[in-house]
A and B are shown apart, each in its own frame.
Chain A
């Protein structure tokens, strides 16, 4: 038993490295922490709640996962007022109405030879399930994810934007991977989907939901990782410029800003610098392009006086 345990750690370490490698092949550079979360969620069959500042690659994580697992990505964007009908399923009311109209004569035929009201209703009972069957069901993202034969990657994006009621409604799906449709019954998927929930923390997520998930906090990457990310996203960037700009952004994040520049913005900035054919950072070019990195005028003003200092610090 002792041996088995020892090897289990080594095995899981190997698996985690493998996962990391697969992410890299998708162009998503992740640290050990993220890979561990994916590994655990696969083993424990648990959804992952991903939190972190905007633009650190929460949504991207789900996309990359679906990429290397070769499973389809089903995305549910949350917003205020999102309800069951838009997230889970909806009856095709139009089709139902249309069919009843078209089939009116047929229905007449069926009940015409029956005597009395009771007999007619009795014979209609044999048919009434027709209108509430799979054919009239419009599956929405959640149902699609559960029904997917090969298993899917389900991304429930920005769960904090949805209402409390919707959060409560998710509980059944996230713990049992099944949904109940009153007219049909409980639908259970053959292959459990891999579920990601992301949150930007605009409001506190309920304890009940948190309890059902693994919790992964992605923070801004360190300089080494960020440089790796830039290198993988923009292969033709020059080594010196890459290091300079990563150092600059890292130092910028230490300032007291309203919104810190995210990885996505670093990538955008790097792209624009490459487009502008910049070979090395200097204060004037930074000033001209700072609006790619910072999205509030007050932040740009605050950073303006620090630019020279940061560049010097980065080069030192």
Chain B
């Protein structure tokens, strides 16, 4: 049974459920107490020891139903009835791998065939199947391991003896077994690869340049950004700092000052302050960055989920605030509406900075971080670096994220080389991985 459990856990892992070895041990202990006879009990106890969140429990339920399909339960019951050995592993090892396929197929006990199948697939390493192109290969290997050779010989013999009826009969058996095995292999493939394929795709997408992402991948991409944001929330939303005012914490003060002979040398306070970073983000949604604007907005939206104190602006030829939009609407709607309201125009960084300054005049202080997302191409208009300079002086820091590679900065109408000196950080940000790094960096150091 250990094999079955190990296999099942492997399936769970490939379906994106994280299971540690200690949890595996728990599951084994639990099953050794519970036994395998009662499906409901087995499901419950495995679920409690392996799946540790609502999402995981849902995946678990699916996997369990798929994995412990009726075949397995039948085997168990049948073996219980017919033999004294109800332990499936014992039974598997009883069957010789080269048992006569014909006998196996004709015997009324279908479970025998299934166990032989399970054993054969174990031998050929079916659990490592990864691609659908491997189905044929594994089907053949399993058939061979189950004794296809002998069946072929029998067919050959029959045809040599001119026994047409037997020959036909055997051929039919061969075909049906082949189908059975193929079904089994396909089922296993589905079980093991449905999620790992997606994982592969997600990993690749995270590294692709934002401007190159295909439209059809938008949905998947939104999912990734969400995931990223969620992880960041979990990591950073509860940062706290001890405040140095409030009510005296007598206990800790006494404890700390014991080393000073009870003199109140260092005082500790009960109040703790939750760090609430203050961020102002502005995002270029003009034609020149049309390809990436969507992702910038997506990112901005996720940021507004991570950070409570964020004001978001979008601009092309002038800037407008979209904070409310982001707070009230769904990500898709909010992004689309922002593009309609503020997008499309020809970029004017000078005017947009000017607008931004008037918007945030009263809100900006030494704790504020300003994030600018854009390519810095201003159509040869006045770049107004003076405003950026004054913003830099008033704020804690300015981060400029540019989707263009550094070699293009300053070419044509790009004002990036002029802006960069007034930014605490000017970085290339062209893929999701870059974005994530920036946010982590932001949350770790700036507040």
A residues with a Cβ closer than 8 A to B are 1-2, 5-6, 8-10, 12-13, 16, 32-33, 36-37, 40, 43-44, 46, 49, 51, 80-81, 85, 90-91, 93, 97, 163-164, 201, 203-204, 207, 210-217
In the assembled complex, the Cα of A155 lies from the Cα of B145 at a distance in Å of 55
Chain A facing B: main interface SS: helix
- Proximity string of chain B (240-265) to chain A, C-beta cutoff 8 Å, 1 when within and 0 when not: 10000000000110110000001000
State which of B20, B234, B240 has its C-beta within 8 Å of the C-beta of A211: B20
B262: chain A residues within 8 A (beta carbon)? 97
Q: List the one stretch of B34-42, B158-166, B218-226, B326-334 in contact with chain A.
A: B34-42
Q: With A80-B272, A217-B57 as known contacts, state yes or no: A9 contacts B52, CB within 8 Å.
A: no
B: interface residue count bin: 35 or more
A37 and B48 contacting across the interface, CB-CB below 8 Å: yes
A85 and B52 contacting across the interface, CB-CB below 8 Å: no
- Proximity string of chain B (262-277) to chain A, C-beta cutoff 8 Å, 1 when within and 0 when not: 1000000010100000
State which of A6, A43, A85, A217 has its C-beta within 8 Å of the C-beta of B252: A85
B22 and A211 contacting across the interface, CB-CB below 8 Å: yes
B234 and A46 contacting across the interface, CB-CB below 8 Å: no
Q: With A8-B35, A12-B34, A40-B30 as known contacts, state yes or no: A2 contacts B22, CB within 8 Å.
A: no
Is the C-beta of B106 less than 8 angstroms from some C-beta in chain A? no
State which of B49, B80, B240 has its C-beta within 8 Å of the C-beta of A214: B49
The A/B interface has a contact count, at CB < 8 Å, of: 102
Is the C-beta of B204 less than 8 angstroms from some C-beta in chain A? no
Q: List the one stretch of B81-89, B147-155, B291-299, B312-320 in contact with chain A.
A: B81-89
A210 and B238 contacting across the interface, CB-CB below 8 Å: no
A215 and B41 contacting across the interface, CB-CB below 8 Å: no
State which of B22, B26, B35, B48 has its C-beta within 8 Å of the C-beta of A12: B35
In the assembled complex, the Cα of A201 lies from the Cα of B255 at a distance in Å of 34
| CB-based nearest B residue for A209 | B52
A44 and B26 contacting across the interface, CB-CB below 8 Å: yes
Q: With A2-B87, A6-B37, A40-B49 as known contacts, state yes or no: A163 contacts B44, CB within 8 Å.
A: no
In the assembled complex, the Cα of A204 lies from the Cα of B55 at a distance in Å of 12
A9: chain B residues within 8 A (beta carbon)? 34-38, 41
Distance in Å: Cβ of A286 to nearest Cβ of chain B: 31
A-B CB contact pairs (8 Å), 25 listed: A1-B87, A9-B36, A12-B41, A13-B38, A13-B41, A16-B41, A36-B41, A44-B49, A46-B26, A51-B54, A80-B272, A85-B251, A90-B251, A91-B255, A93-B251, A93-B254, A163-B238, A201-B54, A204-B234, A210-B53, A211-B20, A215-B49, A215-B51, A216-B48, A217-B54
B29: chain A residues within 8 A (beta carbon)? 43-44
| CB-based nearest A residue for B270 | A81
State which of A32, A85, A164 has its C-beta within 8 Å of the C-beta of B238: A164
Chain B facing A: main interface SS: helix
Distance in Å: Cβ of B91 to nearest Cβ of chain A: 11
In the assembled complex, the Cα of A13 lies from the Cα of B45 at a distance in Å of 12
B49: chain A residues within 8 A (beta carbon)? 40, 44, 214-215
Is the C-beta of B33 less than 8 angstroms from some C-beta in chain A? yes
Is the C-beta of B337 less than 8 angstroms from some C-beta in chain A? no
In the assembled complex, the Cα of A201 lies from the Cα of B57 at a distance in Å of 15
Distance in Å: Cβ of A99 to nearest Cβ of chain B: 13
B251 and A215 contacting across the interface, CB-CB below 8 Å: no
B48 and A36 contacting across the interface, CB-CB below 8 Å: yes
A2 and B85 contacting across the interface, CB-CB below 8 Å: yes
In the assembled complex, the Cα of A31 lies from the Cα of B168 at a distance in Å of 56
A44: chain B residues within 8 A (beta carbon)? 26, 29-30, 33, 49
| CB-based nearest A residue for B48 | A214
State which of A81, A85, A163, A215 has its C-beta within 8 Å of the C-beta of B48: A215
B86 and A81 contacting across the interface, CB-CB below 8 Å: no
| CB-based nearest A residue for B251 | A85
Q: Lowest 10 A-B CB distances belong to which pairs? A: A9-B35, A210-B52, A215-B52, A9-B37, A214-B48, A36-B44, A93-B254, A204-B234, A8-B35, A43-B33
B41: chain A residues within 8 A (beta carbon)? 9, 12-13, 16, 32, 36
A203: chain B residues within 8 A (beta carbon)? 234, 237-238
State which of B30, B38, B240 has its C-beta within 8 Å of the C-beta of A163: B240
B54: chain A residues within 8 A (beta carbon)? 51, 201, 217
In the assembled complex, the Cα of A213 lies from the Cα of B22 at a distance in Å of 11
In the assembled complex, the Cα of A215 lies from the Cα of B56 at a distance in Å of 11
Among residues 1 to 42 in chain B, which have CB atoms less than 8 Å away from a CB atom of chain A?
18, 20, 22-23, 26, 29-30, 32-38, 40-41
Known: A2-B87, A36-B48. 11 other contacts (CB 8 A): A2-B86, A6-B35, A33-B44, A43-B33, A44-B29, A49-B52, A51-B53, A80-B272, A163-B238, A203-B237, A211-B22
In the assembled complex, the Cα of A210 lies from the Cα of B47 at a distance in Å of 13
B35 and A36 contacting across the interface, CB-CB below 8 Å: no
State which of B32, B33, B84, B240 has its C-beta within 8 Å of the C-beta of A2: B84
A6: chain B residues within 8 A (beta carbon)? 35, 37, 80, 86
In the assembled complex, the Cα of A212 lies from the Cα of B252 at a distance in Å of 31
B240: chain A residues within 8 A (beta carbon)? 163
State which of B33, B38, B254, B272 has its C-beta within 8 Å of the C-beta of A40: B33
| CB-based nearest B residue for A15 | B33
B48: chain A residues within 8 A (beta carbon)? 36-37, 40, 214-216
| CB-based nearest A residue for B33 | A43
A212: chain B residues within 8 A (beta carbon)? 22
Distance in Å: Cβ of B437 to nearest Cβ of chain A: 22
